[in-house]
Chains A and B, each alone.
Chain A
Amino acid sequence: MERRRSLPDVLAGAIFVLIGGAFVVGSLGYELGTPLRMGPGAFPLLVGAIVAVLGLAIVVKGLIAGEVVAFGPIPWRAVVFVVLALLFFGFTVRGLGFVPTSAVTALLTTLASSRVRPLMAVAVTAGLTVASTLIFVVGLQLRIPLWGPWLGF
């Protein structure tokens, strides 16, 4: 088989090694126990080691005979806006209440598309805010205040 390097393979392997390794280091901080009474650290240590070893195998394989995987472009704009929208939701839903939080989250999300037009974004935001309020708060009786304490209610 011809030698071909595969960057995605190496990257995937590195992620597994990193996470597996982190859990191994972390689990050493907990009691390992004996086989009869396994401590809280034993199982994560075992599985973490397996993940790290498999990750290493993927890295090695990626250097020698990698899979041909097209990594493709990364939609940075979408990544930024989607992450921002979700973080905003988690951070403010308690303080601002359901309606303002949903509206801003929806607006931020519409901006993730590079083909967004302002009018479209506003229309989608308004529509989704009304729809989600009707579905979740009115219809399903979700216990989230419509307007939060940060707004003086």
Chain B
Amino acid sequence: MELLDNLALGFSTALLVQNVLYCFVGVLLGTAVGVLPGIGPTATVAMLLPITFSFEPVTALIMLAGIYYGAQYGGSTTAILINLPGESSAAVTALDGHEMARHGRAGAALATAAVGSFIAGTVATVVLAVAAPPLARVALKFGPAEYFSLVLLGLIVSIALARGSALKALAMIALGVLLGTVGQDIYTGTPRFVFDQRELYGGIDFVSVAVGMFGVAEILRNLENEQTRTAIVSKVKNLWPTREDRRRIVGPILRGTGLGAALGVLPGGGHVLASFTSYAVEKRISKRPQEFGRGAIEGVAGPESANNAAAQTSFIPLLTLGLPAHPVMALMVGAFIVHGITPGPNVITDEPALFWGLIASMWIGNVLLVLLNLPLIGVWVRMLRIPYQVLFPMIILFAAIGTYSLGFNAYDVYAIVFFGLLGYVLIKCGCEPAPLLLGFVLGPLLEENMRRALIISRGDPSVFLTRPISAVLLALAVAALVAAALPTIRRRREVMFTEED
């Protein structure tokens, strides 16, 4: 069995002492930022990325991945206990999870979330291991024209998943692509839009963009109206669900896992979509739909499983095509590049230990998360009492130090200010920052492949339509664009996302 050999290689890499250690650090940090409202995994990964530059590539990626899926776990704790989703995908969990907590069943809700997440994470890791290699083999046949169309498709699909107006999301993507052109041109070396500043020749660092848009802008949002956070945290007791509960959560966990694993592959926030869809499905097929919103355990089990399954499978486009499905993945693309690895279909053949090690580490990370979350729940509850006045100066200071240490370049720090303010104004105007970051990271790929395809075709732009795979991908992109603009789907998205608020 090739798969077993590969997994054996993966586990032998992932079980190295330093890899287990950093996997633990990653999921621990991830849980912490997932629990704390006001700081998300994107800002955290952006701040910690410079630190990982000195690590082995596989160790660095294991830790960064751990932060990402750890945050999905942690987000549900806050959602259940204080009705405040620490992460956007945990918003659905708050609906029924917090109701359960108010009825004194916080323990059962937390345990259900953890068990569901663990099962989903395990299954989705297997899906990832099975689905990634064949996809990578297909992707190896891609030329520049196919890559251009694929990147374009990825960018456009991410609109459908952003909340708010599709027009604004599209404009944010294009703006990200545009900002990505700052710096030296790849073919001619001409410096573009650098205002004669040598420091800008290498382009704007994506870490600055991420820290500014997701860290600084978010802090300014939180400082708009400062209120003392309600410190009324329900007591957690009776961690184990009753026999009746156990019977009721099996179906939702399995359905949620399936849904999440499938939807996670979509770029731009598949895990949020997965948890909302799973909630809708469970409510529809339930024999007791009136219980939903009043503390139905199915409403916790389904969405929690779905969002964790999606968190794992969203690594599929990253590892096979080099396409990030989430802003955190966009940062991981940067981590790959810093370590001299081009993310894409070649990773699996060129760096098998890294590829399988990362996948195996996800299962180890899921085990660690269950251990971290259930027995140590009291620690996380206490963390919720840290006042924001301590938290945000820490984020700002660490952000400044982190970005400065990227290249000891003060311009990277000034860039956070610029993107923090730009992001803040745009977010206030109803524009989501995630599409901009995806556009920023994928923009250079888009330009490079477009120009390369045109050189190969001797300047004939019809190459994008005459090559079959490219044409199909472009057709899908157009379909996604039309779907995002169609009123019926837009209304349904609005309904879904208003429930979140």
Contacts and interface: CB of A to CB of B under 8 A. Distances in A.
A-B interaction = yes
Given A54-B167, A69-B430, A105 B192 contact: no
B413 A90 contact: yes
Contacts of A61: 167
B231 interface: no
Contacts of B251: none
Contact of A44 (B181, B393, B461): B181
B454 A36 contact: yes
B429 A30 contact: no
Interface residues of A, number: 74
B410 A90 contact: yes
B80 interface: no
B390 A86 contact: no
Interface size class of B (residues with CB under 8 A): 35 or more
Contact of B429 (A12, A38, A90, A110): A12
B397 A109 contact: yes
A36 B458 CA distance: 5
Nearest to B228: A115
Given A30-B190, A132-B398, A43 B450 contact: yes
Contact of A113 (B392, B425, B428): B392
B190 A31 contact: yes
B167 A116 contact: no
B202 interface: no
Contact of A12 (B181, B426, B455): B426
Nearest to A13: B171
A120 B389 contact: yes
Contacts of B450: 38, 43
Interface in A55-114: 55, 57-58, 61, 67, 69, 71-75, 78-79, 82-83, 85-87, 89-91, 93-94, 102, 105-106, 109-110, 112-114
Secondary structure of the B contact surface, majority rule: helix
Interface of A: 8-9, 11-12, 15-16, 19-20, 23, 26-27, 30-31, 34-41, 43-44, 47-48, 50-51, 54-55, 57-58, 61, 67, 69, 71-75, 78-79, 82-83, 85-87, 89-91, 93-94, 102, 105-106, 109-110, 112-116, 120, 124-125, 127-128, 131-132, 136, 140-144
Given A58-B168, A112-B392, A114-B226, 10 more contacts: A15-B426, A20-B175, A40-B190, A51-B178, A57-B167, A73-B224, A83-B421, A87-B413, A105-B400, A106-B393
Interface of B: 51, 54, 164-165, 167-168, 170-171, 174-175, 177-178, 181, 185, 187-188, 190, 192-193, 216, 219-220, 223-226, 388-390, 392-394, 396-398, 400-401, 404-405, 408, 410-411, 413-414, 416-417, 420-422, 424-426, 428-431, 443, 447, 450-451, 454-455, 458-461
